[in-house]
Amino acid sequence: MADGRSGQKDAYQLILHAIDIGTYRPGDRLVENELADRFGVSRTPIREALQRLETQSLLARDGRSLIVASLDHNQMAELYVVRSELEGLAARLAARHATEEEVRLLRTMVDEDRERINDPSALSRTNRRFHRQVHLASHNRYLVQQLDLVYRSMALMTTTSLAAEGRSEIALNEHAAVVDAIAEGNAEAAYTELKGHISRAYEARLRQDADANSDGVILPD
């Protein structure tokens, strides 16, 4: 029989995954009994999971309710600084340690994503899969753990930069350049290519927000 701790862990993972894949988006309200019904878990582990997510700043208080948190402008800027450095390091290490099989998989991912170029939502999901494969190819478990935390916070953004006009094709070309550098074993080029890729993604996201606000549509902070 599962004890309370395993139930709490299951509830935590279930809610975290739902936020991660966009079932619950920034600003959505999370209600204990609704979550318990959805996931088939009792309310006690749900309550404990919600408290844990709140302490991790993935949930925020809106009066007496808990909602999925969102990132303000400064938080997003700080996150991208950390992300670009860690992802660059992952690419550098991948260029030194990736196996031939891992390189072939990365190339296949880029080729398959070109078929999704007109579907930003699908491309956003596979984009994360590509980046995680680069992380794994670094063969550094501690770096992978830190990048998992960064991507957990990325789920608190309301849009994907891949939805910006023309960004999808550019991003895939940047992915291909990263893979080429890794395949060549050029650690510094891999670092530079991936760090530049993240920088341009951040710029595209900033432009999205600026355009939305100039149209009188205010996106959530």
Residue 58 lies in a domain: yes
| The pLDDT of residue 134 | 98
State the pLDDT confidence band at 207, using cuts at 50, 70 and 90: confident
Rg (C-alpha) for the chain, rounded Å, is 19
Q: Give the DSSP H or E segment for 14.
A: helix 4-20
CATH code (residue 95): 1.20.120.530
Q: Are 190 and 181 in contact (CB under 8 A)?
A: yes
Q: Quote the number of domains for the chain.
A: 2
Residue 82 and residue 166 in one domain: yes
Residue 114 and residue 19 in one domain: no
Tokens of 59: 């949930």
Residue 30 and residue 131 in one domain: no
Residue 64 and residue 84 in one domain: no
d(CA 221, CA 218): 9
Q: Which of 21, 40, 68 is the last residue of a domain?
A: 68
Domain range holding 167? Answer: 73-214
State the pLDDT confidence band at 213, using cuts at 50, 70 and 90: low
Side chain identity, residue 126? T
Residue 16 lies in a domain: yes
* Nearest in space to 94 (alpha carbons), one of 146, 151, 149, 132: 132
For residue 65, the cross-strand partners are 62
CATH code (residue 47): 1.10.10.10
Residue 141 and residue 35 in one domain: no
pLDDT in tens, 54-77: 998 899 998 888 999 988 889 999
